[in-house]
Structure 1
Amino acid sequence: MSDSPEPSEEPGLGLDLPEVPQKPISASPYRVLARKYRPRDFSELIGQDAMVQTIGNAIERGRIAHAFLLTGVRGVGKTSTARLIAKALNCIGPDGKGGPTINPCGVCEPCVAIAEGRHIDVVEMDAASHTGVDDVREIIEAVRYASVSARFKIYIIDEVHMLSKNAFNALLKTLEEPPEHVKFLFATTEVDKVPVTVLSRCQRFDLRRIPSDKLAAHFARVAEAEQVDVEPEALNVIARAAEGSARDGLSLLDQAIAHGEGHVTAAEVRTMLGLADRGRIRRLLESILSGDAAAMLAQLDEAHDLGIDPTSLIRGLMDSLHTVTRAKAGASRDALQSEEERDAAAQWASSLNWAGIHRLWQMLLKGLNDVGQAPDPQEAATMALLRLIHAADLPDPASLVAKLSGSDAGAAAAAPAAAPAKPAGPRSYRELIDALHGAGKRILSQELHDQVGLVSFSEGELVLKPLRPLGADWTRDLAAALKDVTGTKWIVSFTDQGGEPSLQQQEQIAEETMRSAVLDEPNVRAVLESFPEASLDSFGPAQATRD
């Protein structure tokens, strides 16, 4: 019997087909960064130094609580901390003779088994899926028996606030007097939902949000370990977007690495996070503040055609206005913002006064409520933004008081206006504030406006009454700034005697005076009497005027 022919010799199978290259199959599946870089010991747990020190001291002195409650926002390390505590309590050292330690070896059998989630004496339970009293009864029955191989039998219950009321009640007695070989570690994001009877039986640790600078440094180390080139600004943006959560930040970094194909830039991260569309919000706010109704309506229609929700537009405007407010108050810069956003915020902060900003915020807040309740949200958004444009033409409260009273009483309470960078010889306290503001000394200008009262003003000398602590060097810094702005030497001193209210307080008094004047108007009073539930919440385009 002849041998079977080779496949290439059979009819129709002698075609010279190209070989399809096969991708090598990885020996192990890909692990996301949030799991791959979980802390292996307390030294890798970032941002929780106070808690680590407390636990370390307790272990060193043998004062280990029978129950720990770890609370904080998602991703700050609650479950990871619980596992680290389990390792610290059960570590036996490389030689098998060690005791509880804040620095577990990570190589002994208990440490390895706990890290891999397979230790028989360390039980993890998710209370979100085991909420009933029967699940707790299993724990109560099991705690009576000694641990199999570990020093302590440890129960880690995640999202403990999800347990039912009956389950909590069933756990109370065991939690109050557990056997010496048992430790409970609870983790929750909503500590307010945990009964006080449980809280009183636990040693509580509030895990803080991780500061952005520490997150950025941590992400830089991860990127280096992954051999990925990431711009420092991109790391700052990711850290800021993570809102204090290491897990959220690592997930964003994972996504950014996949998006950037080996090189991650800040611009790409902002685009990935959906921050690129802030330019549309910025242009819309610019049209509103400049009073260009036609441009505003065109931009609103364009956003509608693109399917952008009106609620998102209003919230975006509120976020931009909040950025302007922070810039006016001299707050630190936000890493999520582009240079264009920062420049625009600084420009608007210098041109808007505080009364105008607060009025715009209140009107946006009302507009957001209108959009949520209106049958047609797009129409409600249009009317709300038109109100904003007309509100920009309204006089400030102090000017309106002056008009109502027929005097210049409101002039002193007017908000600081933009001034030349270096005016020649300020002739009044307000001109002095304007000069500082125009020269870029915005923090000092704002503090003069809000936090001190004027006692006396003369050329080259300023006596003030501080309304709140300003620091030992504040008068010296102000004198140096005034010399830089005006070109002459100034003497600045504090006193606790006399003094006017701050300009901010004067503005508030003027606004209340105006409000009282408006409420005393016969037509306004008649409307409020006809509609008892109505109130004068803010001054819109048609308010605060007298026939």
Structure 2
Amino acid sequence: MWRSPPIGVGACRYSRGVALALYRKYRPATFAEVVGQEHVTEPLRTALAAGRINHAYLFSGPRGCGKTSSARIMARSLNCAEGPTPDPCGTCDSCRALAPEGPGSVDVTELDAASHGGVDDARELRDRAFYAPAESRYRVFIIDEAHMVTTQGFNALLKIVEEPPEHLIFIFATTEPDKVLTTIRSRTHHYPFRLIPPSAMRELLERNVEAEGVPVEPAVYPLVVRAGGGSARDTQSVLDQLLAGAGPDGITYDRAVALLGVTDVALIDDMVDALSADDAKAVFGTVERLAEAGHDPRRFASDLLDRLRDLVLLRSVPDAASSGMIDVPDEQLNRMVAQAERLGLATLTRYAEIVHNGLLEMRGATAPRLLLELLCARMLLPAVSDSEEALLQRLERLERRVTAGGPAQAAAGSTAPPERTYERPSRAPQPAAPAPAEQREQAAASPAPAPAAQRPGEPEPPAAREAEPPAAASSVRPGPEPEPEPEPAAEPGQVDAAALRQYWPQLLATVRKISRSTEAMLTNATVHSVEGSTVVLTHTAAPLVRRLSEPHNADRIAAALGELLTGEWQVRCVHAGAEGEAAAQRARQAPSRPAAAPAAQPAQRPEPRQPTPERPQSESPPQAQPQRRPVPAQGEPDIPLPPEPEDEDEPPMDQPAAEGSAAVPRPEPADPHERAHKLLSDHLGARPIDS
């Protein structure tokens, strides 16, 4: 973007007075001298040659890339005596006035919107825009930093930018085009500028240094280009600083490193060599030398990241140096090629990611050296390959299946702990059934001991469930009730219900990730049984059973089971109360059940009474005849059922009911006097008075 210096200009570099800055001294005067912006200069030259001039232009791009210089060249090309032309003559009055070192023209106004972006400045500019040019073809307004103009200022300029006079042209220059008012931006021709490539920037620096007549070591140019960051003005300023401090030998590499504050390439080489050799002592020794030399750890990490980037390119693209992707001296290039071969692409990429993340952590850190040492320690750690990560994940899944009792025990080759057995808390081990003759002798010898008082709601004791009335024993003498078969254990490759109950909290947590509503409905549910790949759940609330049986809820629970235990699962939910009612219905229909209560008996069941001791056949019949509890089918819950009410167990009306049984009310007297005596006696707690 900068024009080549004229011959002999370097002599004035050492003249007395204030030296002219390089970015002003070598400012381009024509579009042909602009470097690195061919994508903008060529269309503008074509438009000028064809005479297609627009009334407003918008030049945007990073700072120092030539936006304002191109706007001045545009004004010079428009007002040239031979113009509009893409190549100003440079001899007419307008060209001399608008040259880089010229005094300027009254018809070309340059406004800095950073300090003149208010509505009053915009109104003044609008009023001046209506006047015709004094001595030129066009009146040109160059508004630099256009994004700093306020909304009110843009609104004041909107009408004249939309419909300007024929002699008026606006050129807006900004680094942030998105902040320009949309209605203004839509009425302009937008030309985006970009940063200058390193190769074009180095050619510009070499021409300037040659014009200045100062020797510069070749290793200095990459440092200057990198310090400029693609901005021509910033790069020219860095070179100007080095030229000002140059000694008799010119600009040396050591002097440039000291002045620019960049990291010495020897420290970078030592760090990369130590990392490639896995030498922790050399790595942390390099950090110590860095601190002793007074270098900034953040700058060292940034320079190390740049080196890793170059090594990645060398490893990926063998001809990266010859194609201009990497700009380093030949002796350093050979050393970098050897480093890239030793480390490998995967390791270099991992190092670059670690250093990049470390740079993010160093922003605003109070101990940057400590963070630098920590990221060095991370780079020294061995890498974990994808196959190892996959193996670790599979081992974790196998451990979960082993804990759940799955088939992974044999596959993993590990010794599993002994399987735990689960017993029903309400069941007690029963002794072997005695012979019928022995049973009759035991019944005639002594009555059975009375059991302890039974609390309401508790299951019946085993003695009460298996006791048979003597009258029934003479005719039908069934054997003792067989013990319910235990819950089937898990087959090979399955999980039993007992093991699944252990993982119920984990299952709820997994369901919570899928659906919180489904997890809330499972709060009072429990695992009833596991039938192959089908898990049967029970719930005490019938509405929630219907909700959980819906396909979308069952699929969510099955998906959670698959995530927790792997495999394909199906879920079915049943009502716990329905299971108990089914067992009670089967018990009522059994042949050994006594006659049902008469219809006059109240519908409410009485509280269960305590069983009485067995009596010989010669004595009177017992008051209570306990029922034989039916054997629950496999997979049904063991729910105790209260005995049915019986007529022969009712006490006389003038006697209190037995302990534990429901009180039976006495019939009401038919005579009114007797009813009054009864009410009075009930109130006073006395016996009825005979009338």
Q: What range describes the TM-score normalised by the shorter chain of this pair?
A: 0.5 to 0.7
Where in structure 2 are the equivalents of 1:249-264 lying within 5 Å? 249-261=235-247, 264=250
Q: Distance in 1 between matches of 2:49 and 2:231?
A: 29
Q: Which residue of 1 aligns with 2:285?
A: 298
- CA pair 77-344 structure 1, distance change in 2 beyond 3 A: same
Secondary structure in structure 2 of the residue aligned to 1:318: helix
SS of the residue 1:260 aligns to? coil
Aligned residue in 1 for 2:201:
215
Higher relative contact order (CA 8 A, sep 6+): 1
Superposed CA deviations along residues 305-342 of structure 1, whole A, max 9, x for unmatched, are: 44444433433333332222122112623665455653
1:192 aligns with 2:152: no
**Residue aligning to 1:70:** 59
- 3-state SS of paired residue (2:142): strand
* Contact preservation (8 Å) 2:310, 2:326: no
- Letter aligned with residue 61 of structure 1: A
Give the residue type in structure 2 aligned to 1:387.
R
Tell me: CA distance 1:262–1:223, structure 2 relative to 1, closer, same or farther (3 Å).
Answer: farther
The aligned counterpart of 1:91 is 80
1:189-220 Cα shifts (integer Å, max 9, x gaps): 22232233222111111223333333333333
Q: Is contact 1:238–1:252 with CA below 8 Å preserved after alignment? A: yes
Please, which of 99, 106, 109 is the counterpart of residue 93 of structure 2?
A: 109
Q: What one-letter code is carried by the residue in structure 2 that aligns with 1:65?
A: N
State the alpha-carbon separation in 2 of the partners of residues 36 and 376 from structure 1. Answer: 43
- Structure 2 counterpart of 1:46, from 15, 25, 35: 35
| Equivalent residue, structure 2, for 1:332 | 320
- State the AA in 2 paired with 1:356: T
Q: Which residue of 1 aligns with 2:346?
A: 355
In the TM superposition, what are the counterparts of 1:141-290 in structure 2 within 5 Å?
141-230=127-216, 234-235=220-221, 238-239=224-225, 241-261=227-247, 264=250, 267=253, 270-271=256-257, 272-290=259-277
1:155 to 1:269, Cα distance in 2 relative to 1, 3 A: farther
Equivalent of residue 367 in structure 1, options 354, 358, 370: 358
- For residues 165-199 of structure 1, the C-alpha deviation after alignment (integer angstroms, 9 at most, x for no partner) is 22222222211111111111111122232233222
Q: Identify if the C-alpha distance between structure 1 residues 400 and 214 changes in structure 2 by more than 3 Å, giving closer, same or farther.
A: closer
Q: Which amino acid aligns with 2:57?
A: F
Using the TM superposition, give the Cα deviation of residue 123 of structure 1 relative to its aligned residue in structure 2, in angstroms. Answer: 0.6
Q: Does 1:311 pair with 2:298?
A: yes
How far, CA to CA, are the matches of 1:90 and 1:368 in structure 2?
A: 51
Counterparts in 2 of 1:456-467, with a 5 A limit? none
Question: Does 1:388 pair with 2:379?
Answer: yes
Task: Kindly indicate whether the alpha-carbon contact (under 8 Å) linking 1:65 and 1:203 is maintained by their aligned counterparts in 2.
Answer: yes
- Give the CA deviation at 1:236: 5.9
Q: Size of the alignment, in residue pairs?
A: 381
Contact 2:242 2:256 in 1 (8 A): no
Rate the CA distance shift 1:310–1:60 in 2: closer, same or farther, 3 A.
Answer: closer
Residue identity in the other structure for 2:355: L
Q: 1:372-421 CA deviation, whole Å, 9 max, x = no partner?
A: 476644434333322321x2x34533366578879xxxxxxxxxxxxxxx
Unaligned runs of 5+ residues in structure 1 are: 1-24, 93-97, 407-521, 533-547
1:63-114 deviations in Å (ceiling 9; x for gaps): 100011112222222111111111111112xxxxx44222222222222222
- Code of the residue aligned with 2:185 in structure 1: it is L
Residue in structure 2 matched with residue 34 of structure 1 by the alignment: 23
Please tell me whether residue 397 in structure 1 is matched to residue 381 in structure 2: no
Residues 133-152 of structure 1: per-residue CA shift (max 9 Å, x gap): 11111111111221222211
SS of structure 1 residue aligned to 2:131: coil
Q: Is the 8 A contact 2:263 2:303 kept in 1?
A: no
Q: Are 1:69 and 1:204, in contact at CA under 8 Å, matched by a contact in 2?
A: yes
- Assess if the C-alpha contact under 8 Å between 1:260 and 1:268 holds in 2: no
Larger helix percent = 1
Cα 1:298/1:262, change in 2 over 3 Å: closer
Aligned match of 1:60: 49
Residue 233 of structure 1, CA deviation: 5.9
Matched-pair identity in %: 35
Note the 1:474-513 alignment, pairs <5 A.
Answer: none
TM-score by length of 2: 0.49
What is the root-mean-square deviation of aligned Cα atoms in Å?
A: 3.4
SS in 2 for 1:150: coil
**Cα gap change, 1:113 to 1:347, in 2 (>3 Å):** same
- Equivalent position of 2:113 in the other structure: 127
**1:342 maps to what in 2?**
333
Q: Judge conservation of contact 1:88–1:101 (CA < 8 Å) in 2.
A: yes
Q: Partners of 2:252 and 2:16 in 1: how far apart? A: 33
Partner of 1:515: none
Return closer, same or farther for 1:131/1:240 CA change in 2, 3 Å cut-off.
same
Alpha-carbon shift at residue 344 of structure 1 (Å): 4.2
Kindly state the Cα deviation for residue 49 of structure 1 after the two structures are TM-superposed.
3.2
The answer on whether the counterparts of 2:263 and 2:300 sit within 8 Å (CA) in structure 1 is: no
* Bigger Rg, structure 1 or 2: 2
Cα contact 1:76–1:207 (8 A) shared by 2: yes
- The answer to whether the 8 Å contact 1:237/1:336 transfers is no
